[in-house]
């Protein structure tokens, strides 16, 4: 099995820096061949991957991990096949490296082209989800970047096998040593060292909760792009199709509650609350959702449904679980105000038949993605046609929302002249 660690974080990053120069110049065919080799190796070695994952799951059960974390951690043959399929999807996408974004001829005869180029060395720090090992590596490879990964201890066995599989397949397909590495076995000091590799690591992307975000903010000298929390809302407007609203609410909350694009709060316009909420709260409770609601929403629950009183903390919480805060509002304005106050800037949805309400919500809600008449669960790199995502950025520089190949590049201005000098 390939070695996935080196003697120090500095050594790993230095090797990644050397590899990045070669990756930036690789033809698309070589990169695509390596991605196909990685996808095939994942399928072929699925039993080995699942055996390692089973060890992580057993350790997680013994450590008392929450159901949400266990779901994020778990792999099965279907999930491995999906990851392999996304690697192939990435291979099939156009290569962003070398794309001419724009070009023009200046008054003095200079030809200026803006060309897309790789960032260089990208570090990804992530919690629980071992699929990120492959998703992030595949996106970095296709965009001509080397990658340094640091997963959490709870997924150590899974990450080690997945990284080894990808590294072995990539090297056999002609990729340079150091194109991918996994940092493993250290503590907070190791994270600090990775986050301070200024001049070597070009970007660090944390995928995790607010604790990870805070830990990096305190030490990072490397540029950071946060793929942070998802406190997402579904707002049912006065003109909503209530059957659609119920289906969207249930899907956004229960289809996979542990992920960042799952809904954590349901807001309902008072004009339809009497008709919508009794049945909706019934359906949510029947699906096993713990409900926490304001006084108006609680008053509309049927006696058989247990609804706790929502606190200020509930509105601000990303549950990652079958728990939902529910509130009644009197206008689109009030819904927008609530979302902008408590949301994390991730994904927000409105269900409405009123075009003006939809336009106001999409224009005034401050979030990376705003969805009209569909579930927040669609805010995802694969669903958006990006093959996969390296994270969903909730900040505004230099990219926002699901981050695919283009998010892992920057631009270079290439200028051609024939002897011009500036006077």
Show me where the domains of the chain are located.
Answer: 9-227+390-416, 232-378
Question: Is residue 13 a contact partner of residue 148, using CB atoms and an 8 Å limit?
Answer: yes
Contact partners, residue 404, CB within 8 Å, separation at least 6: 139, 381, 384, 386, 387, 388, 389, 390
Number of CB atoms found within 10 A of residue 415's CB: 10
Where the chain has pLDDT below 50, the residues are 1-6
Q: Quote the CA–CA distance of 126 and 162 in Å, as a whole number.
A: 14
Q: Quote the CA–CA distance of 180 and 147 in Å, as a whole number.
A: 5
- How do residues 98-148 score in pLDDT, each as one tens digit? 999 999 999 999 999 999 999 999 999 998 899 999 999 999 999 999 999
What's the chain's length in residues? Answer: 423
Question: Is residue 245 a contact partner of residue 351, using CB atoms and an 8 Å limit?
Answer: yes
> pLDDT at position 308, please?
98
Distances from the Cα of 83 to the Cα of 20, 42, 137, 299, angstroms: 24, 8, 11, 45
> pLDDT at position 6, please?
45
209-232 b/e (C-beta count within 10 Å ≥ 16 → b): eeebbebbeeebebebbbbbbbbb
CA 396, 402, 408 angle in degrees (round to 5)?
Answer: 80
Q: For strand 323-329 and strand 263-269, is the pairing parallel, antiparallel, or unpaired? A: parallel
> pLDDT at position 189, please?
83
Secondary structure class of 177 (helix, strand, coil): coil
Question: Is residue 38 a contact partner of residue 134, using CB atoms and an 8 Å limit?
Answer: yes
Query: H/E element holding 323?
Result: strand 323-329
> pLDDT at position 97, please?
98
> pLDDT at position 229, please?
84
> pLDDT at position 7, please?
63
Give the architecture-level CATH label for domain 9-227+390-416.
3-Layer(aba) Sandwich (3.40)
Query: H/E element holding 338?
Result: helix 332-342
**Correct CATH for 232-378 of 3.40.309.10, 3.40.50.720, 3.90.25.10, 1.25.40.10:** 3.40.309.10
Distances from the Cα of 364 to the Cα of 86, 137, 157, 217, angstroms: 33, 35, 44, 28
Q: Quote the CA–CA distance of 369 and 44 in Å, as a whole number.
A: 37
DSSP character string of 29-94: HHHHHHHHHHHHHHHHTHHHHHHHHHHHHHHHHHHT--HHHHHHH---HHHHHHHHHHHHHHHHSP
> pLDDT at position 3, please?
43
> pLDDT at position 393, please?
93
Q: Quote the CA–CA distance of 401 and 380 in Å, as a whole number.
A: 9
Q: Quote the CA–CA distance of 398 and 226 in Å, as a whole number.
A: 11
> pLDDT at position 5, please?
44
Q: Quote the CA–CA distance of 384 and 404 in Å, as a whole number.
A: 9
Number of CB atoms found within 10 A of residue 88's CB: 16
5-40 b/e (C-beta count within 10 Å ≥ 16 → b): bbeebeebbbbbbebbeebbebeeeebbbbbbbbbe
């Amino acid at each position: 099995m390939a070695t996935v660690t080196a003697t120090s974080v500095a050594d790993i990053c230095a090797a990644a820096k050397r590899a990045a120069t070669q990756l930036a110049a690789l033809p698309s065919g070589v990169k695509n061949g390596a991605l196909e080799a990685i996808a095939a190796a994942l399928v072929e070695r699925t039993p080995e991957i699942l055996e390692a994952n089973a060890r992580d799951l057993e350790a997680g059960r013994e450590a008392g991990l929450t159901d949400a974390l266990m779901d994020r951690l778990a792999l099965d043959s279907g999930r491995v096949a999906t990851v392999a399929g996304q690697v192939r999807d990435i291979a099939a996408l156009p290569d962003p490296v070398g794309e001419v974004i724009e070009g023009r001829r200046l008054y003095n005869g200079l030809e200026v082209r803006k060309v897309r180029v790789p960032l260089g060395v990208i570090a990804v720090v992530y919690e629980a989800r071992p699929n990120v090992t492959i998703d992030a590596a595949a996106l970095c490879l296709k965009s001509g970047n080397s990658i340094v990964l640091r997963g959490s201890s709870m997924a150590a066995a899974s990450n080690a096998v997945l990284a080894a599989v990808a590294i072995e397949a990539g090297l056999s397909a002609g990729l340079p040593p150091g194109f991918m590495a996994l940092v493993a076995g250290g503590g907070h000091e190791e994270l600090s060292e990775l986050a301070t590799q200024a001049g070597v690591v070009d970007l660090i992307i944390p995928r995790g909760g607010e604790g990870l975000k805070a830990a990096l903010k305190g030490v990072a000298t490397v540029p950071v792009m946060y793929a942070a929390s998802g406190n997402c809302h579904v707002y049912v407007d006065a003109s909503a199709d209530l059957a659609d609203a119920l289906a969207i609410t249930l899907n956004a909350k229960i289809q996979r509650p542990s992920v960042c694009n799952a809904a954590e709060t349901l807001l309902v316009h008072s004009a339809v609350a009497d008709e919508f909420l009794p049945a909706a709260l019934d359906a949510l409770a029947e699906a096993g959702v713990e409900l926490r609601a304001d006084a108006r929403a609680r008053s509309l629950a049927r006696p058989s449904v247990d609804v706790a009183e929502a606190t200020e903390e509930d509105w601000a919480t990303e549950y990652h679980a079958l728990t939902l805060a529910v509130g009644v509002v009197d206008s689109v304005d009030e819904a927008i105000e609530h979302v902008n106050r408590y949301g994390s800037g991730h994904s927000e949805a409105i269900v409405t038949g009123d075009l003006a309400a939809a336009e106001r919500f999409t224009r005034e809600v401050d979030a990376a993605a705003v969805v009209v008449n569909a579930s927040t669960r669609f805010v995802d790199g694969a669903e958006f046609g990006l093959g996969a995502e390296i994270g969903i950025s909730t900040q505004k520089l230099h990219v926002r929302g699901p981050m695919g190949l283009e998010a892992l590049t920057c631009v270079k201005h290439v200028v051609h002249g024939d002897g011009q000098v500036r006077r």
